[in-house]
Amino acid sequence: MKALSSRVLVILTAGLVVGLSGCATVTTEQLNEAMTMARQAQSDAASAKQAATSAARAAEEAKRTASAAQSAAAAAQSAASQANNCCTMNSEKIERMFKESMRK
């Protein structure tokens, strides 16, 4: 990243010098201003890259959290189904016992 940023800075500066050389003369102040603008652009690009990296990390963490929540929901659904089956079996057993006691 550092090498790429340095290249961008050199290319921007060279382009500015070449572009301005066609004009009258380039003052040191103008050149310094151009260098300052190039450095600011480089800094802004680095900040944007850092923000994008941070956002990617946050998205990955959100993905892991969602996956864990999905697993927990599946486990809860399974437990609820087992409990429901148990209740159904108990209800059937009680009903059979009631019918048998009524026959006697």
- pLDDT tens for the chain, 104 residues: list them: 666 666 767 777 776 666 656 555 778 999 899 999 999 999 999 999 999 999 999 999 999 999 999 999 999 999 999 999 999 999 999 999 988 888 86
Q: Count structural domains, the chain.
A: 1
Largest CA distance in the chain: 119
Q: Is residue 67 part of a domain?
A: yes
Q: Give pLDDT, residue 24.
A: 57
Q: Is residue 41 part of a domain?
A: yes
Q: Is residue 90 part of a domain?
A: no
Tokens of 15: 């382009």
Q: Is 64 left (phi over 0), alpha (psi -120 to 50) or beta?
A: alpha
Q: Is residue 92 part of a domain?
A: no
Q: Is residue 22 part of a domain?
A: yes
Q: Give pLDDT, residue 5.
A: 66
Q: Is residue 27 part of a domain?
A: yes
Q: Is residue 59 part of a domain?
A: yes
Q: Give pLDDT, residue 100.
A: 87
Q: Give pLDDT, residue 76.
A: 98
DSSP H stretches of helix in 1-27: 2-21
Buried b (16+ CB within 10 A) or exposed e, 70-79: eeeeeeeeee
pTM: 0.52
> How many angstroms separate the CA atoms of 62 and 5, rounded?
31
Q: Is residue 89 part of a domain?
A: no
In whole angstroms, how far apart are CA 83 and each of 34, 36, 75, 80, 102? Answer: 73, 70, 12, 5, 29
**Which residue range(s) make up the domain with 62?**
2-79
